[in-house]
Amino acid sequence: MALIRKSKPFRWRRKHLLGLRELDAEEITYILDTAKGFEQISTRSVKKAPPLRGKVIVNLFFEDSTRTRNSFALAASRLSADIIEFTKKSSAVSKGETLLDTARNLEAMGIDIVVIRHSAAGASKLLSRNINACVINAGDGYCEHPTQGLLDVYTIRKIRGSLAGLKIAIVGDIAHSRVARSDMWAMTKLGAEVTFVGPPTLIPTEVGRLPVNVSYSLDEIIEKVDVINMLRIQFERLGGNPFPSIREYSHYFGLTVERMKRAKPDILVMHPGPINRGLEMESEVADGQNSVILQQVTNGLAVRMAVLFLVNQAAAQVS
């Protein structure tokens, strides 16, 4: 009898998901494959599976969010976990120590997983070092928003089969975007070529050290890319006057019907939402046949179910 050779099976070992920078391609792929298994639960008549029954997840959001918060809440609910909603504006919280006190208190109540959004980069890492519960970063400052990055590559992979060799533009306010950073790590690790596109004032100064190309002209790259991710202009984060006027920004960096005529016919149009219609893109584009924006939302649920499932599993192995 011939010997059967098996490749060593991959085993997920992280009890925190803090960012995609630290993950390798195999880990990212494993999350996506796990998400694929969960995707069908959301299309069933009874949208429930039991793996996290009796587990408690806290949505610890120090910044406003509707869709990410709801997405995690629904993902938790589909896995039969209980969820505690915790809201506090960062401004009301007196820095570092209080964040830890808040988290330690939640942990003392027996929380299993903390999903945290915070205006300070590194907030989730700080937590993960100081509590025993699993920590999932749902956005920290301008640093990372890993589940958004994961749902973006999940969406592309689902349609195109693979990211290898794809040319992807991420357009807009790169400097203040944690989505751009998490996308960049996930996309490049899976073999795509990423270009940041925006006015010089909105391209981060450290871009030279990042694995991306830079372009200051949407018109220059629109014909070449397979995927275009239009970032939201986050007026609430823009201090000063990063661009002369909304109208001018929109003129140079908005995805119009006109510009779409020069794009590849099968280009994928993405947006992390919510859309400022008529600003980042025209409504006809947002609702057009190339748009996968609502698929991103749907896939976000499957990806977050996978992440909740995996960190919980890793925690169980450790203890």
Query: Given the rule CB under 8 A, which residues bind a second copy?
Result: 42-48, 53-56, 66-67, 70-71, 73-74, 77, 82, 84, 86, 88, 97-98, 101-102, 104-110, 273-275, 277, 283, 294-295, 297-298, 300-301, 316
- Closer to a second copy by Cβ: residue 73 or 192: 73
- Closer to a second copy by Cβ: residue 54 or 240: 54
- Under 8 Å CB-to-CB from 301, ≥6 apart: which residues? 42, 71, 74, 75, 78
Minimal distance in Å, beta carbon 204 to a second copy?
Answer: 28
- Closer to a second copy by Cβ: residue 96 or 165: 96
Minimal distance in Å, beta carbon 208 to a second copy?
Answer: 36
Angle at 87 between CA 82 and CA 92, to 5 degrees: 150
Cα separation of 25 and 190, whole Å? 6
CB 183 within 8 A of CB 211: no
| Sign of the Cα pseudo-torsion (305, 308, 314, 319, in order) | negative
Minimal distance in Å, beta carbon 296 to a second copy?
Answer: 8
CB 42 within 8 A of CB 49: no
Cα separation of 34 and 51, whole Å? 13
- Closer to a second copy by Cβ: residue 130 or 201: 130
Minimal distance in Å, beta carbon 129 to a second copy?
Answer: 15
- Closer to a second copy by Cβ: residue 42 or 119: 42
* Tokens read off for 285: 């584009």
Minimal distance in Å, beta carbon 98 to a second copy?
Answer: 8
**How far is residue 18 CA from its own chain's centroid?**
11
Minimal distance in Å, beta carbon 48 to a second copy?
Answer: 4
| CA-atom Rg of the chain in angstroms | 20
- Closer to a second copy by Cβ: residue 104 or 264: 104
